[in-house]
């Protein structure tokens, strides 16, 4: 018997996703070399989303979220601007985030 799949009206394949798994997003943004490394990086507690430390690689990220990444070279703050379907080159990855300063992050003290 053939397998039948149904798609609802909200599941338009051309529409960009409203969210993506954190480990997939880090891999697509070329923060790490493999998705497994992204999951390990998150489980080790090196990632915060909007100031909250996460240990679940499956946590969804949405456009506008601010990620705090504790990398070897220091701490980076990235605001999620979008998603890509597949891991691409560095230019495609750079289009998925913007680097923000500490004063641009949510919850930072105003000067």
In CATH, what number is assigned to the domain containing residue 57?
Answer: 3.10.290.10
Give me 61's structure tokens: 């990220």
Tell whether 5 is covered by a domain: no
Tell whether 25 is covered by a domain: yes
Tell whether 12 is covered by a domain: no
**What pLDDT sits at residue 6?**
44
**Count of domains observed in the chain:** 1
- pTM of the predicted protein model: 0.77
Q: What residue numbers bound the domain in which 47 lies? A: 20-101
Tell whether 26 is covered by a domain: yes
- In this predicted model, what pLDDT tens digit does every residue of 17-71 receive, in sequence order? 789 999 999 999 999 999 999 999 999 999 999 999 999 999 999 999 999 999 8
Identify the band that residue 106 occupies on the pLDDT scale cut at 50, 70 and 90.
Answer: low
Identify the band that residue 7 occupies on the pLDDT scale cut at 50, 70 and 90.
Answer: very low
Tell whether 73 is covered by a domain: yes
Q: Is the pLDDT of residue 110 over 60?
A: no
């Amino acid at each position: 018997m053939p397998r039948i799949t149904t798609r609802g009206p909200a599941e338009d394949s051309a529409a960009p996703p409203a969210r993506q798994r954190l480990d997939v997003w880090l891999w697509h943004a070329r923060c790490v070399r493999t998705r497994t490394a992204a999951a390990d990086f998150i489980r080790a507690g090196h990632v915060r989303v909007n100031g909250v430390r996460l240990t679940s690689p499956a946590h969804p990220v949405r456009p506008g979220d601010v990620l705090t990444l504790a990398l070897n070279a220091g701490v980076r703050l990235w605001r999620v601007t979008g998603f890509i379907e597949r891991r691409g080159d560095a230019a495609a990855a750079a289009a998925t985030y913007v680097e923000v300063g500490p004063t641009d992050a949510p919850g930072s003290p105003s000067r």
